[in-house]
Amino acid sequence: LLDEATSALDAASERDVQTALEHAMRDRTTLVIAHRLATVQRADRIVVMDQGRIIDIGTHAELMARGGLYASLASLQFMQ
């Protein structure tokens, strides 16, 4: 269980931690809680929650294609 594992890191450190996490999580079930969507962009399944309710489930590509809340937030975050 990772809860905002990279939230306090600068961009370079976040990239290093992301690389290490991808290796550590390979072939394992991992629950990641994230507001920074780069943290979950490569996940097999992303569960989008709003107000405590599941509103969408899919891969990054599927969620972006649907254009919902995830796509809106991702567009803002990845534009920066």
Is 2 strand, coil or helix?
A: strand
Q: Which domain holds residue 64?
A: 2-79
Q: Report the number of distinct structural domains present in the chain.
A: 1
Interval 6-57: pLDDT, tens: 677 787 887 888 888 888 888 888 888 887 787 788 889 999 999 999 999 9
Domain of 23, CATH number, reads 3.40.50.300
Helix (H) / strand (E) element for 57: namely strand 53-58
Predicted structure pTM score = 0.75
